[in-house]
A and B are shown apart, each in its own frame.
Chain A
Amino acid sequence: MTDSASIHHDDEETRQLERTWASPPGFFAWFTHVNQTNIGMRFIVTGFIFFILGVILALLMRLQLAVPENDFMDPETYNQVFSMHGITMMFLFAIPVMEGFAVYIIPLMLGTRDMTFPRLNAFGYYIYLIAGVMMYAALLLRIAPDAGWFSYPPLAGASFSPGLGLDFYTTVVTFMEISALVAAIELIATIFKCKVPGMSLNRMPIFVWAVLVMSFMIVFALPPLVIASLMLALDRMAGMHFFTAASGDPILWQHLFWFFGHPEVYIIFIPALGMVSSIIITFTQRPIFGYIPIVLSIVAIGFIGFGLWVHHMFTAGLPQLGSNFFTASSAMIAIPSGVQIFCWIATLWGSKPKLATPLLHVLGFFLIFIIGGLSGVMVASVPFDMQAHDTYFVVAHFHYVLIGGAVFPLLGGLYYWYPKFTGRMMSERLGKVAFWVTFAGFNLTFFPMHKLGLEGMPRRVYTYLDGLGWNEANLFISISSAVFTLGLMLTLVNVLISLKRGNIAGDNPWNADTLEWATSSPPPSYNFRHIRTVDSRYPLWSGTGGLEQNPVVTGIRSDRREILLTSILESHPEARQPLPGPSPWPFWLAVATAITFAGLMAHLAIPLLGFVLCFIAITGWVWPKRLGVAK
């Protein structure tokens, strides 16, 4: 052992690391990149581009609804627009962007050089990109799905929705979810095996815990959706009878869809909770109050989140006892959520928090999410839900929960980690203006929808009659939605101008506590020059000299991509793991997968061809570079 021997920065080794971990330049080489920072950033940027597209669709809807009996859009177009708005925000924005943050930040927080399966990471991205482009190509051709983001049969079945729209939905949704599944498996393996020595489970940052729970939820929640959308595809294309009224059961689709759909809300929301904890710790400059209760609450939400799905189906005519059970479990989820909020308040209490933009977004999240939670308790009760079902009250509720619970923390996280991503700070002044405009615009847009819903205005209807008393509220909402959009655009402008003009950030501009701030901004392709050990939950704050005093790990090779593996619970060093480098095969496998599923639309035999192509791509992927090296 070289205990307490001193080592110096070795420039030659740094250059060696740069050569080993570099992503090759050039357009075609772009499709071979596998580094986690590259892929994570692609997920984030692509996710926000789809967010912008989803916002544009929302504005088109508000334009249509601004005045009664408007003929700006015909009903068919409106149906495609609201369906694509939901599909975009849930499938193409929320899950991928949360995964993007996780993929980018988690290895940095764990102190490792990359994730365990870098090529799988790249594969997940291409699957997502191909699926998103296909959906928007369908919208431009006016053949997008038009039965809502949850596509209930029999409306979504072959007899009531002929044509390609729902075929796009069934096939693309089926394979798009592979992207989230592979990312989840990879995040679990990385969190289990790649923590730096000393980062035992009870010292993991809360954001890492949140991503771990999110990943487990994805593993159990998404397969039912994959198989359900495949069944719907087979109903439509092969004349099968899963959800037809003739022999199958449309309610089965609702069960399978919401068994995915409700955990999905928490899949989006739980990483956002992790972001909130990170931001609160940093801006109060103190350890979190109640680390263990917060972690247990996150785990509890992960479990209870699977027991709520029927509350989306109270009006489907299910047995009374079942409804009672799901009312109780829906109310129960408020307990772990409440525990976390009280722990955050206790952390903030008496501290002198720095009211920077990330923390402002967290405070905005508190208010909005609590309102959304309260209307959630209301719709959890069956008699009230019967009244409010399919009205704008529900639209108001879930936008308060989803935008409040996920988008506001996400924007806070964007302001918080932007310096790490780019090396520059976003403008605080513009950021604060953007926050207040966004916050006001959001509430002015969605709060009046509660009232419209209670007055009976149904959702998903392309227009409404004059003289129902809804005119003023609708016009007000449409104008407010422009204010909301303006706030989001200010943040976008802030992101773009800060790329060139922002102040130089330095390694740790916020004096934060977790390991991603212990490397340069943006991080080098190998993440960390030295792999450090940690001895507390707040490694950058502990001791007198902070992390600088902690021992480092030597002996990880720099002439090939290699990471350190540690044990799951205690993070004892166990082995080194060589990693694969750039490869075009993840891209080709994604193309082959898309052919397998989307080909179903054209002819039932194309999936067989796709199966063979997938096999060729997988073999190419795993094929060793050199054969016969064994002695």
Chain B
Amino acid sequence: MELKDIIKPENLVYDKSQVQTDTIMHYCPGCSHGVVHKVIAELIGELGIQERTVGIAPVGCAVFAYNYIDVDWQEAAHGRAPAVATGVARLNPDKFVFTYQGDGDLASIGSGEIMHACNRGENILVVFINNGIYGMTGGQMAPTTLDGMVTSTTPFGRNADLNGYPMKITELIAQLPGTSYVTRQAVHNAASVRKCKRAIKKGIQNVLAKKGTSFIEVVSTCNSGWKMTPVAANKWMEDNMFPFYPLGDLKDGVKGEPVSKN
């Protein structure tokens, strides 16, 4: 059988979402951003909400998210995406507004904005990519960097006495009554991608149902910043990140509930 006999519509088992552009991604091979972008684009297509979606792009590697997902976007300053999203969502209640932020953006310089947007219960989805390091600026320590983890600004490993403790931002968010759904996911294998997609779908549906803030952390690798191969980075994440940042739902309820169920 020749290739042209195989490439036929009836044999198609997987296709790129129409909400994904043809732009070649700038992310490093092995990076989780590409997978999460794909999942978000697929869901926007499947739920038929392309015309009412506004994405808020972060600062950091994912600053160019707007090049890959074919919806209207606003680029935000360092950490300010939740405030920008608040402005869009409050004045456009019929739109689906989401932010896409890394750990340097969300957990460090933007810790104020994310806490208050979640506490107000802004009707937005937050996708939080946590790889424990500043990727774009060259691998410096993030608030989420693990104890003992080597980065360019913790060359002898993170030392709590010197650098403070790694921050479990999602556990903090889960305490806020404005959130309806808070979960921690990963995308390092097929099963986890499917789970993550289900979680993001629930987050989007919650926003469409005006249930308040949905917050989805995706524990991720940064093989460039971690200085590992993609395979080794995935293994390292399973061995080191998951014990400290355990996967699963932290809160699945409705806006107004004072604390998480955990």
B partners with A: no
